[in-house]
């Protein structure tokens, strides 16, 4: 096997393997007993593939491949830079953890509803969106993600799930239609759709109404996907209705794909400085942070609180995009990775709390500190990390973006971010006080145990949070390196066109 073939395989495995597993688990539709071990083995394989991808990217900096031997830029391409590879790796870790959690959380009825095929289909969609090298295929992977996530959302067919799915489906459908329109306008203006080719062509073009329209439509479409103010209403309406396993993977991954797409498009194609949308993004980021955290403050259902927190955290990532200095983008990349782990962990913990106390309504639960002290400790790790307390991963993430906003002359944004952090701490304390500290409303006769399959993923994700928090330097360095392809599109373009082979090796300089 030549090196070229190896690189090609490494690049497409994170999409091909989940697709193959979706097919295999679909064949095993009627035998849940077989589906479970196949799914866990398959998730292990996906994680292995993403590790291989990260290793290849660390070696070559950027991998690019054109399918069907079409010359650049006519074929369909996959590109992996550090950002994409890191996100694929995190997806692998998260999918495995959530898959282990699902062993006890998902019932037979969910497996008969096709949980594992849909789950693998969604992983394929997410990885495809991270790795794709052109705008139209980004749309296609978004749709793969959307249709499978819709299937997952209605898997138990309860009234609340149907209602939540309607809001999720219609708003996201409108989002993808806007995205498609933007793609059309962009093609009309530039005549190409590959990211690298667009990054080369677009700076030479005059800003026409079509291009401006495309930029605005991209902003709206990714805004809906990422759940930013004022387009987030589908998110807290639907995420708490699905089973815990599913809402955990949604919370971790789906909105972040929207953020990732916004980062790609608004650094590689339209830069926020030149297109004049910096102010819009900054104001949207601030309003997203504040409305999300206020929305969370009034809720009493654990997953509703956490859903609103997803929104407020998206604001921090957009902050990085608004400031758009290398430091800010590195901070935002770090934030995305940290948030995927922490938020999914919190949703898994909500599932464990539900398992332990029988309810996810904070008014009815309580007394878990006495009956499940370890769960209380495990909850504190991601909760305090989300609020941004040192030495956890959230502190470094917040520190980077806040530091960048001071240096980027956007101190007001930093003030909003710190205020939001304070309110986040408030609502995390609320969950802790209500679920763990206070006496239960009615004395429970027997202690409901939380099975090992549920605690193990929580422990793993908590350990990753701690590891990032105590040893942040290599992660920050990686984020800085990852932000190079965002701040300097030339590297991305060169990897695509520069060499006669498909795989380009580009040297990176440490950005300061």
Residue list 97-136, contact with other proteins (CB under 8 A)? 136
How many whole angstroms separate alpha carbon 97 and alpha carbon 75?
A: 35
Rounded to a whole number of angstroms, the minimum distance from the CB of residue 205 to other proteins is: 14
Angle, helix 255-264 to helix 115-131, in steps of 10 degrees: 20
How many whole angstroms separate alpha carbon 392 and alpha carbon 470?
A: 7
Using rule CB under 8 A, residue 294 touches other proteins: no
Q: Which is nearer to other proteins, 407 or 430 (CB)?
A: 430
Cβ–Cβ < 8 Å for 190, 250: no
Among 163, 279, 409, 490, binds other proteins (CB under 8 A): 163
Using rule CB under 8 A, residue 359 touches other proteins: no
Using rule CB under 8 A, residue 293 touches other proteins: no
The region of 37-45, 121-129, 186-194, 423-431 touching other proteins under the rule CB under 8 A is 186-194
Q: The tokens 């209602």 sit on which residue? A: 163
How many whole angstroms separate alpha carbon 124 and alpha carbon 437?
A: 41
Using rule CB under 8 A, residue 148 touches other proteins: no
Using rule CB under 8 A, residue 156 touches other proteins: no
| Residue 56, CA distances (Å) to 69, 427, 468 in order | 21, 41, 22
Using rule CB under 8 A, residue 160 touches other proteins: yes
The region of 17-25, 100-108, 172-180, 448-456 touching other proteins under the rule CB under 8 A is 172-180
Cβ–Cβ < 8 Å for 133, 64: yes
Cβ–Cβ < 8 Å for 381, 465: yes
Using rule CB under 8 A, residue 162 touches other proteins: yes
Beta carbons within 10 angstroms of residue 415's beta carbon: 14
Q: What is the contact mask toward other proteins in residues 228 to 267, using x (rule: CB under 8 A)?
A: --------xxx-xx--------------------------
Rounded to a whole number of angstroms, the minimum distance from the CB of residue 138 to other proteins is: 13
Using rule CB under 8 A, residue 174 touches other proteins: yes
Using rule CB under 8 A, residue 205 touches other proteins: no
Sign of CA dihedral 365, 366, 370, 373: positive
Rounded to a whole number of angstroms, the minimum distance from the CB of residue 135 to other proteins is: 10
How many whole angstroms separate alpha carbon 194 and alpha carbon 132?
A: 9
How many whole angstroms separate alpha carbon 487 and alpha carbon 511?
A: 10
CA 35 to chain centre: 26
Among 187, 294, 419, 437, binds other proteins (CB under 8 A): 187
Q: Which is nearer to other proteins, 114 or 236 (CB)?
A: 236
Rounded to a whole number of angstroms, the minimum distance from the CB of residue 170 to other proteins is: 6
Using rule CB under 8 A, residue 306 touches other proteins: no
How many whole angstroms separate alpha carbon 338 and alpha carbon 382?
A: 10
Beta carbons within 10 angstroms of residue 409's beta carbon: 10
- Facing residues of 80 across strands? 63
Using rule CB under 8 A, residue 177 touches other proteins: yes
Among 301, 371, 429, 511, binds other proteins (CB under 8 A): 301
Using rule CB under 8 A, residue 327 touches other proteins: no
The encoded tokens of residue 432 equal: 């802790």
Q: The tokens 């196949």 sit on which residue? A: 38
Q: Which is nearer to other proteins, 171 or 356 (CB)?
A: 171
The helix/strand/coil state of 65 is strand
The region of 182-190, 351-359, 364-372, 376-384 touching other proteins under the rule CB under 8 A is 182-190
How many whole angstroms separate alpha carbon 452 and alpha carbon 49?
A: 26
Question: If binding means CB under 8 A, how many residues of this protein chain bind other proteins?
Answer: 44
Using rule CB under 8 A, residue 166 touches other proteins: yes
Residue list 377-406, contact with other proteins (CB under 8 A)? none
Q: How many CA atoms lie within 13 A of 244 on its CB side?
A: 27
The region of 109-117, 138-146, 283-291, 388-396 touching other proteins under the rule CB under 8 A is 138-146
Q: The tokens 């010359």 sit on which residue? A: 71
Using rule CB under 8 A, residue 441 touches other proteins: no
Q: Which residues bind other proteins (CB under 8 A)?
A: 136, 139-140, 143, 146-147, 150, 154, 157, 159-167, 169-170, 173-174, 176-177, 180-181, 183-185, 187-189, 236-238, 240-241, 298-301, 303-304, 361
């Amino acid at each position: 096997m030549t090196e070229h073939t190896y690189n090609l395989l490494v690049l497409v495995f994170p999409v091909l393997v989940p697709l193959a597993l979706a097919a295999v688990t679909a064949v095993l539709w009627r035998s849940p007993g077989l589906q479970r071990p196949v799914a866990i083995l398959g998730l292990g394989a996906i994680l292995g593939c993403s590790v291989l991808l990260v290793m290849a990217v660390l070696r070559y900096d950027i991998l690019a491949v054109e399918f069907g031997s079409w010359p650049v830029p006519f074929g369909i391409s996959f590109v992996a830079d550090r950002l994409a590879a890191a996100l694929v790796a995190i997806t692998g870790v998260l999918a495995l953890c959530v898959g282990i959690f699902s062993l006890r959380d998902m019932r037979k009825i969910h497996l008969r509803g096709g949980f594992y095929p849909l789950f693998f289909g969604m992983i394929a969609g997410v990885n495809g969106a991270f790795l794709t090298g052109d705008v139209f295929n980004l749309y296609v992977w978004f749709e793969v993600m959307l249709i499978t996530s819709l299937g997952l959302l209605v898997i138990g067919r309860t009234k609340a799930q149907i209602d939540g799915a309607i809001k999720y489906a219609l708003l996201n459908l409108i989002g993808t239609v806007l995205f498609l329109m933007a793609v059309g306008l962009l093609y009309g203006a530039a005549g190409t759709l590959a990211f690298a080719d667009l990054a080369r062509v677009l700076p030479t073009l005059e800003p026409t109404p079509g291009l401006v329209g495309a930029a605005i439509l991209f902003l709206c479409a990714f805004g809906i996907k990422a759940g930013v103010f004022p387009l987030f209403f589908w998110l807290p309406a639907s995420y708490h209705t699905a089973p815990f396993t599913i809402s955990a993977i949604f919370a971790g991954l789906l909105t972040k794909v929207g953020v990732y797409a916004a980062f790609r498009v608004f650094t590689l194609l339209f830069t926020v400085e030149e297109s004049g949308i910096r102010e819009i993004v900054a104001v949207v980021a601030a309003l997203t942070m504040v409305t999300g955290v206020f929305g969370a403050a009034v809720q009493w259902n654990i997953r509703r609180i956490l859903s609103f927190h997803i929104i407020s955290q998206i604001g921090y990532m957009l902050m990085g995009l608004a400031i758009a200095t290398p430091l800010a983008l590195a901070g935002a990349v770090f934030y995305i990775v940290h948030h995927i782990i922490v938020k999914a962990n919190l949703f898994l913990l909500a599932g464990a709390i539900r398992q332990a106390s029988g309810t996810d309504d904070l008014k009815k639960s309580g007394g878990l500190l006495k009956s499940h002290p370890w769960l209380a400790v495990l909850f504190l790790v991601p909760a305090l990390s989300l609020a941004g307390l040192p030495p956890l991963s959230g502190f470094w993430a917040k520190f980077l973006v806040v530091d960048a906003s001071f240096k980027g002359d956007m101190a007001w944004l930093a003030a909003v971010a710190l205020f939001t952090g304070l309110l986040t701490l408030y609502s995390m304390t609320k969950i802790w006080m209500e679920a763990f500290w206070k006496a239960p409303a009615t004395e429970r006769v027997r202690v409901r145990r939380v099975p090992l399959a549920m605690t193990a993923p929580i422990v793993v994700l908590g350990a990753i949070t701690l590891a990032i928090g105590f040893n942040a330097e290599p992660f920050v360095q990686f984020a800085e390196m990852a932000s190079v392809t965002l701040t300097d599109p030339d590297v991305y373009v060169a990897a695509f066109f520069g060499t006669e082979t498909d795989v380009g090796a580009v040297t990176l300089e440490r950005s300061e």
